[in-house]
Amino acid sequence: MLEIGGKRIAMKEQRPKQRIRNFRSVPCGYTKEEVIAEAQRCIQCIHAPCEKMCPVQMEIKSMIREIVEGNFKQAFLIAKKDNAIPAICGRVCPQEEQCEGVCPLAQTGNGINIGKLEAFIADWAMENGVKEEFHIKERLEKVAVIGSGPAGISCAVDLRRYGYQVTVFEALHMAGGVLQYGIPAFRLPKNIVDYEISYLTEIGADLKLNHIVGQNIMFDELREKFSAIFIGTGAGAPQFLGIEGERLKGLYSANEFLFRTNLMKAYKFPEYDTPIVCGNAIGVIGAGNVAMDVARCALRLGAKDVYILYRRTKREAPARAEELQHALEEGVEFMELVNPKRAIGDKDGWVTAIEMFRMRLGEPDKSGRPRPIKIEGSEFIMKLDTVVESLGTKPNRLFLDMTPELETTKWGTIKVDEDLMTKIEGVAAGGDAIRGNATVILALGDGRKAAKSIHEYLLRRQ
Ligand code: FAD
Ligand code: SF4
């Protein structure tokens, strides 16, 4: 029987042995012929479930129809209308859980490769200088956006579209949040991030880098100077296991390891003046996407043996299937059913090993995954030169402690109502700051929704 839609057009990738020697993109992208052939497989379903599953409701079906006709400009404009950063989302969104996951062709493992189509048309627009044109009817009110991650970017773009005078305050010396400092260049090339962000200033937003709100500019000052505020400060504070030896040198949080590698370009040392200690044997504790990013960076930094240390099994690993597969292809070793007890160091305070328990799986816990149970007396020592804890992050207290009027949850995330407005009048929040660790596309959706709420709030005040 002929399969509807046929097989997915395979994406060429750098071979594992080659790619672990560089930080260039792993997927090589579709050619024009390939992108059209992939788009032609779309059966243009009447109800387009892919669009309903997209957190920003991109008009995916229409975008694909234009690609089939070779109208890449039109396809790009359709994507850009709802998604401020399509070249980024096309590369990093978990499409298999969203648009692609509900595509009827996914039942045979051949869902339309929506992410790669989106990335293609956005790259094509960048290479051909095609931009979205819209007429801004300027308004006098000023709005401040705190944080330039995906939530801040999408909120700022939409606020400009409504005509507000927007200033984005970013703590770091580069804009983009996790897109810039967390996700490595081999998954998300930095020229793409820079290009997508340059759009912010092109449409007239004022981007103030090196401005930590709560430190070199106060929140109250923003409240005096701006008619409304959006908080998109993310969740950048790392969580730790709380085990003995955690302060040893050579033991990092995933955030610090990725920050040094990506934002501070440690992989280009000594061209860039950022040291990173990454020995021959490195253990990464955790099995989410961030852990895979750390493990894959470590390989590229020259580590010989890279281990993912996880208390459950591969089957329960929270990482996307594609990320896990890429890591394994590259030679990362996955150690299942182990849990650290303590880190061991030498007389100079450098980590040399980690002691772990063996674990077994029990009944499902609240997350629905089998509970990992410690096997008493199973301790063993594993020699390692570097250890990285990748256990998730939470919102930074620095900003929150300076703004006690903001209500927070027990996880430290900011409380908002259904329109994403906080308890403080005219102040909205979104992205990881309200969700904890989430995704780029959810942050974009929040930014968009918050911009609409701020717009309605400012209209009501007139
Ligand atoms: P962030 O991206 O964290 O941006 C917040 C910004 O606010 C930062 O630039 C920060 O410097 C700034 N800021 C903080 N406090 C202040 C202050 N007081 N003053 C001024 N500025 C401030 N999601 C996916 O969908 N796909 C992936 O493949 C993926 N991979 C990931 C890999 C890593 C390593 C990490 C850490 C996360 C990953 N995520 C991924 C999650 C995703 O990146 C986040 O959910 C998303 O970036 C959240 O966006 P945000 O705008 O809320 O916050
Ligand atoms: Fe095309 Fe799949 Fe969307 Fe249907 S669900 S319109 S086949 S991409």
Q: Is the CB of 67 under 6 A from ligand 2?
A: no
Ligand 2 atom closest to the CA of 41, numbered from 1: 7
Q: Is the CB of 42 under 6 A from ligand 2?
A: yes
Q: Using the predicted structure, report yes or no on whether residue 188 has a pLDDT greater than 90.
A: yes
CA–CA gap between residue 294 and residue 306 (Å, rounded): 10
pLDDT score recorded for residue 441: 94
Q: Which CATH architecture has domain 16-127?
A: Orthogonal Bundle (1.10)
Domain 240-391 has CATH 3.50.50.60: yes
pTM of the model: 0.93
Q: Using the predicted structure, report yes or no on whether residue 144 has a pLDDT greater than 90.
A: yes
Q: What is the mean pLDDT of residues 15-42?
A: 95
Residues β-bridged to residue 285:
309, 389
Q: Is the CB of 61 under 6 A from ligand 2?
A: yes
Lowest mean pLDDT among 73-82, 151-160, 258-267: 258-267
pLDDT score recorded for residue 2: 45
What is the 95 CA–ligand 2 centroid distance (Å)? 12
More confident residue, 225 or 109: 225
pLDDT score recorded for residue 3: 58
DSSP letter string, 97-149: GTTGGGSGGGGGT----HHHHHHHHHHHHHHTT----------S-EEEEE--S
Q: What percent of the chain has pLDDT over 70?
A: 99
More confident residue, 320 or 344: 344
Are the beta carbons of 280 and 305 closer than 8 angstroms?
yes
More confident residue, 461 or 89: 89
Lowest mean pLDDT among 62-76, 94-108, 141-155, 325-339: 94-108
Three-state secondary structure along 283-296? Answer: EEECCCHHHHHHHH
- Selection from 301, 352, 304 nearest residue 332 by Cα: 304
CA–CA gap between residue 89 and residue 179 (Å, rounded): 10
Pocket test for ligand 2, best of 35, 40, 45, 108 (most atoms within 8 A of CB): 45
Q: Using the predicted structure, report yes or no on whether residue 335 has a pLDDT greater than 90.
A: yes
Q: At 180, which amino acid appears?
A: Q
Q: What is the mean pLDDT of residues 206-213?
A: 96
pLDDT score recorded for residue 396: 87
Lowest mean pLDDT among 229-233, 308-312, 365-369, 437-441: 365-369
Lowest mean pLDDT among 38-47, 250-259, 363-372: 363-372
Q: Using the predicted structure, report yes or no on whether residue 235 has a pLDDT greater than 80.
A: yes
- How big, in percent rounded to 5, are the helix, strand and coil portions of the chain? 40, 20, 45
The angle that helices 114-127 and 72-82 make with each other, rounded to 10 degrees, is: 110
Lowest mean pLDDT among 37-41, 270-274, 336-340: 270-274
Ligand 1 atom closest to the CA of 169, numbered from 1: 20
For 385-435, the pLDDT digits (tens) are 999 999 999 998 888 888 889 999 998 999 999 999 999 999 999 999 999
What is the 58 CA–ligand 2 centroid distance (Å)? 12
Ligand 2 atom closest to the CA of 49, numbered from 1: 5
Which residue spans of the chain are classified as CATH 3.50.50.60?
142-236+394-461, 240-391
CA–CA gap between residue 52 and residue 106 (Å, rounded): 16
CA–CA gap between residue 228 and residue 144 (Å, rounded): 7
pLDDT score recorded for residue 4: 67
Closest Cα to atom 6, ligand 1: which residue? 147
Q: Is the CB of 4 under 6 A from ligand 2?
A: no
What is the 462 CA–ligand 2 centroid distance (Å)? 43
Domain 142-236+394-461 has CATH 3.30.70.1560: no
Q: Using the predicted structure, report yes or no on whether residue 324 has a pLDDT greater than 80.
A: yes
- Selection from 322, 325, 255 nearest residue 284 by Cα: 255
What is the 9 CA–ligand 2 centroid distance (Å)? 15
pLDDT score recorded for residue 1: 42
**Residues lining ligand 1, Cβ inside 6 A:** 92-94, 146-152, 169-172, 177-178, 182-183, 211-214, 232-234, 236, 258, 289-290, 293, 396, 399, 431-433, 438-441, 443
Q: What is the mean pLDDT of residues 10-28?
A: 93
Q: Using the predicted structure, report yes or no on whether residue 279 has a pLDDT greater than 90.
A: no
Residues β-bridged to residue 429:
231
Return the exposure string of 150-176: e unless at least 16 CB atoms fall within 10 Å of the residue's CB, then b.
Answer: bbbbbbbbbbbbbbbbbbbbbbbebbb
Q: Using the predicted structure, report yes or no on whether residue 437 has a pLDDT greater than 50.
A: yes
As a whole number, the mean pLDDT across the chain is 93
Q: Which residues contact 285 (CB under 8 A, 6 or more apart)?
A: 241, 291, 309, 310, 340, 387, 388, 389, 390, 391
Which residue spans of the chain are classified as CATH 1.10.1060.10?
16-127
Is 17 buried (19+), middle (13-18) or exposed (0-12) by CB count in 10 A?
Answer: exposed
Q: Using CA atoms in the order 458, 397, 434, 438, what is the torsion angle rounded to 10 degrees?
A: 140
